[in-house]
Amino acid sequence: MTVSTHILDAVAGGPAAGVSVSLSLRDPGGTWLLAEAGVTDPDGRIRFATETTGGVYRLTFATGLYFANRGMATFYPEVVITFSTVTLDDAAPGHFHVPLLLSPYSYSTYRGS
């Protein structure tokens, strides 16, 4: 399984390019292990090359730095989205897409396709 994300900046009305994003896996002891890190492309997207297994993962977005680089204050210095790649379906999906709609004082997410 693989993981990707797409960040849209609701204030700018377009993709959030240049945002640092890390993908981490929670081990059985509860410790977070970095799987991969990168930066969103000009379209606000990043697809991690790391092959994931069933488990609990988190994406950490460096939103404070993103807004600071645009001269804007933000309430969220980072956004952390924790999700599970374990499904109740008979067939595990081959990919998880986790979009982020972002503004300086709010954000939303969902399981994408």
User: What's the whole-number average pLDDT of the chain?
Assistant: 93
* CATH code where residue 16 lies: 2.60.40.180
Q: Is 58 inside any structural domain?
A: yes
User: Residue 43 belongs to what domain range?
Assistant: 2-106
In a domain, 113, yes or no: no
pLDDT at 1: 84
Domain annotation covers residue 49 = yes
**Residue 112 counted as domain residue:** no
The verdict on residue 84 lying in a domain is yes
User: What's the predicted TM-score (pTM) here?
Assistant: 0.92
Let me know if residue 52 belongs to a domain.
yes
Residue 95 placed within a domain: yes
Residue partners of 34: CB distance under 8 A and separation at least 6: 22, 23, 24
pLDDT in tens, 47-86: 999 988 889 999 999 999 999 999 999 999 999 999 998 7
Q: How many residues does the chain have?
A: 113
Strands ordered across the beta sheet of 32-39: 32-39, 20-26, 56-61, 79-84
Q: How many domains is the chain partitioned into structurally?
A: 1
Instruction: Say what the pLDDT of residue 87 is.
Output: 64
